[in-house]
Amino acid sequence: MTSGLHNWNDSIIAEFRANNGTVTQNGFGRRLILVHHIGAKSGQERVAPVAAIRPDDDTWLIAASKAGAPDNPSWYHNLRAHPDVQIETPDDGVVSVRAEVLEGSDRDEAWARFIKLSPAFAGYQEKTTRIIPIVALRRV
């Protein structure tokens, strides 16, 4: 992770925690969660701020967009290796969840929600040849 991205993530995480889940930077508001994930190779816990959609009380959807980069974000690989993690949410505090990568029509329906949330997601898909994965984080 580059130093600039690390610093940006740290400032988002700090604002999230200081304001009970509200982040004014980039107009995020209360649409972020903090995903605690375990490094697939290192085994170290990391935290990533990620935009989330909550389709029901027990599920958070996150998109591994990485702003349209050619590769998936490290948190995506880490969740595949270690799917049982915790998230920090604006409304429910710390929640234990299990990560599941959505496929087929489930993925496509979730992706449509992200494009509706922000047209920037459509731009991310246009910038890359990979299909951007969607992960469902389900309360355990």
**Neighbouring-strand partners of residue 45:** 38
Q: Is residue 6 part of a domain?
A: no
Q: Is residue 39 part of a domain?
A: yes
Q: What is the pLDDT of residue 7?
A: 87
Q: Is residue 61 part of a domain?
A: yes
Please enumerate, as own/partner, the contacts of 89-95 that have beta carbons within 8 Å and a separation of 24 or more: 89/21, 89/33, 89/52, 89/60, 90/16, 90/20, 90/21, 90/22, 90/30, 90/32, 90/33, 91/21, 91/30, 95/139
Q: What is the pLDDT of residue 5?
A: 61
Give the residue carrying structure tokens 């449509």.
112
Q: Is residue 24 part of a domain?
A: no
> What is the per-residue pLDDT across 101-135, written as a single tens digit (0 to 9) for each?
999 999 999 999 999 999 999 999 999 999 999 99
**What mean pLDDT value characterizes the chain?**
95
Tally the domains of the chain: 1
Q: Is residue 20 part of a domain?
A: no
Q: Model pTM?
A: 0.94
Q: Is residue 73 part of a domain?
A: yes
> What is the per-residue pLDDT across 47-66, written as a single tens digit (0 to 9) for each?
999 999 999 999 999 999 99
Q: Domain range for residue 95?
A: 31-139
Domain of 107: which CATH number? Answer: 2.30.110.10
